[in-house]
Structure formats: C-alpha cells, structure tokens
Amino acid sequence: MKIAFIGLGNMGGPMALNLHKAGYQLSAFDLSAAACEVLRKEGVPIAASAADTLADAEVVVSMLPASQHVEALYLGSEGKPGLLEKLSAGTLVIDSSTIAASTSLKVAKAGAKRGVAVIDAPVSGGTAGATLGTLTFMVGGSKADLERARPVLEKMGSNIFHAGEAGAGQTAKICNNMLLGILMIGTSEAIALGVANGLDPKVLSEIMRRSSGGNWALEKYNPLPGVMENVPAFKGYAGGFGTDLMLKDLGLAQENAGAVRASTPLGGLARSLYASHSLAGHGALDFSSVIKLFQNKS
C-alpha cells in the first residue's frame, strides 16, 4: 500500500519513519527542506510538493502545526485548490494534527462530498512516543474508516481509541490536555506550598502520590528539579511537551468550550497562567516548568 505523508516535523518525521520501517511505500513532503533531508537520509522518497506525494496513494497522513495549515492543505487557500480536489474517491485521509474540532469536521464534510474518507486522529505521547511507535491515537470518524486506518495507525502507536464521529478525536484530545494542564499547575502549587513551609519535596511528593492527591504528574512527571530522574525538570526542562504547545491546546479547549457554551473556568485560568509563563520567556521549556510561577525566587 502506498502512503502519502505530509508534515515531517518533530512528530511527523519519526511517525513517517516508523511507517517506512514497517515496509509501507511512502512519498513524503514538508515545506522545510531540513525536515525533508532527515527523512531522505533514512531512505524515504521525498516529493517536490504536497500534491506530488499523491500519485497512487491509498492513504494520506498529515501532521501539521495548526488548524489553518490543515484547512489550507486540504481545502485550498488564496484561490489555490486543496488536496481534496486532487484525491481519487476511495482515498483515506488520516489527519493527526491537533486542531480545532470544527476544522476537522469541515474537512471531513468536504471529503465526504468527494467520496474521500477523512478521520481526525490526534495523538498523545509526545516525540518519544512518536519515535518509539507507542503513541495513543484518539480517532474521530466512522468505525469503518477507523478499521481501514488501523493497520497504519498500529505501526505508529500502541493505543487506538474511537472517540466518536468526525471531530470527536480532537475534542477528546483537548479534554485530556486541559486536564493535564490544570493538574500540572495544581501539583506545582501544592509542592511549592510544602517547600515554602520547609518540607522535603521528595517526601511531600511521595506522601501526595500515595494519598488522595495522587496523579500522573506525581507518578511520572514531577515538576520540581531533584525529585525525579529522567523527567524534563531533571534536564532543565529541555525536551518533553513545550509550554507553547500546552498553551495552544488550552486555547483550542477554550475555543471549543465557547462553541458549546461549556463552563471551563479552571481551563481558562490555566491558559492565562501558561500564557504569563510563556511571556516570561519560558515558551520553549517543558510545560512542567510552570512551577517557576510559584517558586520563591529570593
């Protein structure tokens, strides 16, 4: 089976490589020549443009930064036609970018009019999961289309969930990341309070981990340097999931909440706090560095 892969950045690059290693015939493209070069060196054929990846492709996978990129790619922009117009009926599009659910739905509806199946399949697991092929996919679209996509998704991830119809994958993704953003702030606040009272952060973290405040941050991703090894806090907050990416997802959550008139006060506050943290120059640091907002700097 031939796969067209568009968007070879931090996530898309290793995902495309896993498909290549699994034996799929790939044609890949990215606007960045440097991103293309990384894959070319691994033996992945690089096309001259996104449209040039499509010849004979039965499946198209995209991994792009944001809604506007996905909309422009598939639906066109500035009078230029999008990829949907060039795809044969029966093609399956898997968009793994994290974007607005409303954009995923719009692209899926436009695809359906042309007989092209479009599923949204955003991921969790970060660049490590993309490299190891252990991503979690949250899929929005019909069950039948998910089953068609499954063999491809299984080469890039280890958990595949059907969240519901088109756009539901995006909604599940931002619900999860909104919770993650909030719980990282809450965990940071609690640790900083204990430390301000002279408690040993390792002892406090262990008490909370085994008590009713236990959560994923305390289990696997402690935000305070020196408590846990091999987490971003241990490495000066390098790697991991950037503050600006968290900020983007919390923005999507607020946009989504506005559209359905949901009340998400903590999600809104969390977005503001990550925005302040980013404005203070920490946008590229892992999101767990948000603990800096609560630390005594004297």
Phi, psi of 260 (to 5 degrees): -105, 10
Find the shortest distance in angstroms from Cβ 4 to ligand NAD: 11
Separation between Cα atoms, residue 12 and residue 181, nearest integer Å: 23
Find the shortest distance in angstroms from Cβ 29 to ligand NAD: 6
Find the shortest distance in angstroms from Cβ 129 to ligand NAD: 8
Separation between Cα atoms, residue 277 and residue 279, nearest integer Å: 5
- Return the number of the residue (11 or 54) whose C-beta is nearest ligand NAD: 11
Find the shortest distance in angstroms from Cβ 288 to ligand NAD: 13
In the structure encoding, which two tokens stand for residue 232, read together?
């971003």
- Return the number of the residue (16 or 166) whose C-beta is nearest ligand NAD: 16
Q: Which of 80, 173, 220, 235 is catalytic?
A: 173
Summarize as ranges the residues that interact with ligand NAD (CB under 6 A). 6-12, 29-32, 35, 50, 63-65, 69, 73, 97-98, 123, 126-127, 241, 245, 248
**What end-to-end distance do the CA atoms of the chain give, in Å?**
60
237 touches 284 (CB < 8 A): no
Concerning whether 173 is annotated as a catalytic residue, the answer is yes
- Return the number of the residue (108 or 192) whose C-beta is nearest ligand NAD: 108
- Return the number of the residue (138 or 204) whose C-beta is nearest ligand NAD: 138
Residue nearest to ligand NAD (CB): 9
Phi, psi of 54 (to 5 degrees): -80, -20
Burial (0-12, 13-18, 19+ Cβ within 10 Å), 130: buried
Task: Name the residues annotated as catalytic.
Answer: 173
